[in-house]
């Protein structure tokens, strides 16, 4: 007998207004046809245009002060032959004044560059996190949470440093070096030609070190991610670690990950430190050669001593900017790997299709139908499963672990879409309903409820942030939670700890029920809501659940068969298929799969 009578059973009609992708294979994981060119920083820079212009002006002014030192040095050298007190005061005053101005502009350009870099990376981080929240569970099944956190924090920190360096160091360095070389050519092209001999070697050195740093940065950031993962997994399961006495083992595993990161970072640090030293050696050698050529020019009468000093000053002002340029280029290359990892977040497009123009859901009666659904992860878990629950009914799904019951809960909440078939609410395919409306209509009370770091009141109000304190307390009273909350230090303002670690399992469960009461859904999905609790806690929660279920359509996924005492209908699921269904008493009398489950659980088979 067919457990449903839906007209959608078998071939599923196309839901009205639902988005359907074009035919063809899906894009590979981690790629995006929309964002294939990567993250565009321009739209993040645009809101900070004034600060960027200010930084640019300071860069120009700083560079101008540095450039002015060259002709001033030439003038001072020329005056030494006939030096007066007035000339000395002008030269020294000019040098001091230029350095004061240069320092002021350098401070301003660095501050403004950091302001822009911080603002841009903050915007990137917020958008990346929001993008992550929009992805479906397939993405999170393939990526570790600690790795994603590392990308949001560590990788974007490197991007921030590189962006600040690009504004504060690269632009002025290029301007100053260009000016110094141009002035040197104007003074004496022969000396300039000798100087340019080393320029290609410097450029090649910067590029070679940069490429090496890019690869080493990739390795280093991957090892940082490993540390995040190891620390998070161990600390999140600290009770299990202690229960099995594995502290030393976990400390050794963390130490291994930490040492691998240290080795990768040490390799990158050595390359970063060697780069300016190598460039400095090349530059010093080149300057020595230039001075030797210049001495020959003076001896030949083709060059004045003042011009050689000015030439040396022109080359000298370019030394520090060249080193700064090399270091900034190294930071940019180191950030390149980090930016690639951040871009991969933006490029991820694993999200459920949303309806283009969904019709309002309206008043929800709460009729649920699962029509010949096929679904799985790596392979099919559900094989043409079908069941229904009429408004206000309590329907139980029972069976051995691994049969697909919790997978059905995910489909009912539209955390996934079925491969074949459909799940409907009041005759509407869930794929045609806007997610916010669907989430208001259906609520989940899981076996292991998640609480967030914060107060009791904040966690209960997670379902409805605008709820008043009176509404929160009323929900907690109904959920048998008000009493233990009053005993907590701080009451409703007590901190629940990370993942609710300051509370017992039964207390967390009652807060989850209060949260669901506050949401006031028409459909409830109870996924093993009392299976992990002791008898006393389970009794309190069953009483609270009874109040929560009143007047609502309820899908109960149960291991403890006493949870289905009041079920209107029971579906027995084996290997992803409904093998038996009916009222509990009917199934007991049928002496089939349900009866075998009762016998295995030691249940007496008495219901009602």
Which range, of 2-11, 447-456, 538-547, averages the lowest pLDDT?
2-11
CB 572 within 8 Å of CB 597: yes
In the predicted structure, residue 504 carries a pLDDT above the cut 60: yes
Alpha carbons within 13 A on the beta-carbon side of 601: 19
pLDDT band at 327 (very low <50, low <70, confident <90, very high): low
In the predicted structure, residue 17 carries a pLDDT above the cut 50: no
Q: How far is CA 547 from CA 274, 447, 479, 524, in A?
A: 71, 18, 8, 12
Q: How far apart are CA 181 and CA 327, in angstroms?
A: 20
pLDDT at residue number 24:
32
Write out pLDDT tens, residues 383-395: 888 989 999 888 9
At 508, is the secondary structure helix, strand, or coil?
helix
pLDDT at residue number 548:
78
Measured over the CA atoms of residue 339, residue 341, residue 347 and residue 352, the dihedral's sign is negative
pLDDT at residue number 590:
86
Write out pLDDT tens, residues 125-166: 888 888 888 888 888 877 777 778 878 877 888 777 777 777
pLDDT at residue number 297:
73
Residue 25 or 299, more confident:
299
pLDDT at residue number 7:
30
Q: Which helix (H) or strand (E) holds 382?
A: strand 380-389
pLDDT at residue number 210:
64
Q: What percent of the residues of the chain are helix, what percent strand, and what percent coil, each to the nearest 5?
A: 65, 10, 25
What residues have CB less than 8 Å from 58, skipping those under 6 apart? Answer: 105, 106, 108, 109, 112
Fold of 42-347: ABC transporter transmembrane region fold (1.20.1560)
pLDDT at residue number 34:
34
Alpha carbons within 13 A on the beta-carbon side of 140: 14
pLDDT at residue number 11:
32
Domain span(s) for CATH 1.20.1560.10 in the chain: 42-347
Tell me which long-range contacts 250-254 makes (C-beta under 8 A, separation of at least 24): 254/227, 254/230
In the predicted structure, residue 75 carries a pLDDT above the cut 60: yes
Q: How far apart are CA 348 and CA 245, in angstroms?
A: 39
In the predicted structure, residue 444 carries a pLDDT above the cut 80: yes
What mean pLDDT do residues 316-337 have? 66
pLDDT at residue number 37:
37
Average pLDDT of the chain to the nearest whole number: 75
Which range, of 6-15, 397-406, 482-491, 552-561, averages the lowest pLDDT?
6-15
Residue 32 or 364, more confident:
364
Q: How many helices (H) and strands (E) does the chain have?
A: 22, 10
Write out pLDDT tens, residues 178-209: 767 777 777 767 777 766 666 666 666 666 76
pLDDT at residue number 294:
75
pLDDT at residue number 153:
79
515: left (phi over 0), alpha (psi -120 to 50) or beta: alpha
> Does CATH number 3.30.1490.20 belong to domain 368-601?
no
What mean pLDDT do residues 40-60 have? 76
Number of neighbours of residue 60 by Cβ within 10 angstroms: 15
Highest mean pLDDT among 60-69, 112-121, 323-332, 451-460: 451-460
Question: What pTM did the predictor assign?
Answer: 0.64
pLDDT at residue number 9:
29
Q: Which two tokens stand for residue 295?
A: 């001495």
Which range, of 128-137, 218-227, 555-564, averages the lowest pLDDT?
218-227
Number of neighbours of residue 245 by Cβ within 10 angstroms: 8
Closest CA to 59 of 102, 7, 98: 102
Percent of the chain with pLDDT over 90: 5
Q: Which helix (H) or strand (E) holds 370?
A: strand 368-376
Domain span(s) for CATH 3.40.50.300 in the chain: 368-601
């Amino acid at each position: 007998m067919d457990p449903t009578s839906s007209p959608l059973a078998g071939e599923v009609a196309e839901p009205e207004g639902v988005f359907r992708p074009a035919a063809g294979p899906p894009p590979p994981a981690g790629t995006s046809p929309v964002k294939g060119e990567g993250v565009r920083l321009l739209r993040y820079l645009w809101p900070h245009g004034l600060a960027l212009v200010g930084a640019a002006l300071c860069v120009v002014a700083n560079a101008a002060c540095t450039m002015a030192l060259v002709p001033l040095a030439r003038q001072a050298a020329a005056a030494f032959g006939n030096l007066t007190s007035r000339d000395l005061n002008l030269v020294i005053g000019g040098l001091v004044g230029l350095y004061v101005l240069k320092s002021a502009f350098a401070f301003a350009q660095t501050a403004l560059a950091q302001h822009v870099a911080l603002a841009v990376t903050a915007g990137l981080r917020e958008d990346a996190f929001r993008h992550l929240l929009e992805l479906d569970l397939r993405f999170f099944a393939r990526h570790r949470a600690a790795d994603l956190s590392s990308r949001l924090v560590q990788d974007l920190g490197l991007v921030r440093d590189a962006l600040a360096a690009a504004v504060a160091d690269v632009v002025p360095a290029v301007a100053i070096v260009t000016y110094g070389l141009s002035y040197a050519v104007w003074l004496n092209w022969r000396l300039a030609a000798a100087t340019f001999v080393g320029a290609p070697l410097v450029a090649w050195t910067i590029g070679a070190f940069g490429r090496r740093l890019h690869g080493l940065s990739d390795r280093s950031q991957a090892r940082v991610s490993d540390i995040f993962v190891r620390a998070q997994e161990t600390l999140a399961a600290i009770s299990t670690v202690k229960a099995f006495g594995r502290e030393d083992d976990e400390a050794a595993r963390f130490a291994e990950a930490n040492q691998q990161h240290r080795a990768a970072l040490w390799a990158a640090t050595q390359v970063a430190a060697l780069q300016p030293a190598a460039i400095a050696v090349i530059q010093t050698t080149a300057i020595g050669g230039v001075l030797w050529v210049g001495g020959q020019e003076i001896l030949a009468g083709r060059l004045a001593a003042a011009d050689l000093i000015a030439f040396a000053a022109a080359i000298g002002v370019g030394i520090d900017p060249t080193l700064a340029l090399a270091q900034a280029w190294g930071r940019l290359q180191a950030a390149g790997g980090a930016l690639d990892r951040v871009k991969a977040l933006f490029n991820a497009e694993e999200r459920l299709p949303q309806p283009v123009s969904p019709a309002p859901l309206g008043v929800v009666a709460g009729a649920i139908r699962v029509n010949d659904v096929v679904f799985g992860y790596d392979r099919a878990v559900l094989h043409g499963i079908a069941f229904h629950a009429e408004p206000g009914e309590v329907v139980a799904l029972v069976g051995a672990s691994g049969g697909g019951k919790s997978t059905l809960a995910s489909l009912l909440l539209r955390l996934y879409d079925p491969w074949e078939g459909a799940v409907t609410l009041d005759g509407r395919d869930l794929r045609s309903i806007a997610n916010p409306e669907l989430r208001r209509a259906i609520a989940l009370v899981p076996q292991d409820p998640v609480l967030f770091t914060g107060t009791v009141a904040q966690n209960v109000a997670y379902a409805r942030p605008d709820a008043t304190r009176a509404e929160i307390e009323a929900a907690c009273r109904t959920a048998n939670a008000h009493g233990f909350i009053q005993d907590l230090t701080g009451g409703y303002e007590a901190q629940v700890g990370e993942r609710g670690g300051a509370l017992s399992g039964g207390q967390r469960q009652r807060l989850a029920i209060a949260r669901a009461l506050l949401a006031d859904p028409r459909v409830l999905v109870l996924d093993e809501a009392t299976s992990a609790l002791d008898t006393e806690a389970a009794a309190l929660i069953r009483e609270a659940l009874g109040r929560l279920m009143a007047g609502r359509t309820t899908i109960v996924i149960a291991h403890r068969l006493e949870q289905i005492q009041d079920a209107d209908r029971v579906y027995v699921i084996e290997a992803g298929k409904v093998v038996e269904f009916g009222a509990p008493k009917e199934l007991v009398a049928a002496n089939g799969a349900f009866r075998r489950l009762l016998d295995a659980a030691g249940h007496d088979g008495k219901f009602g």
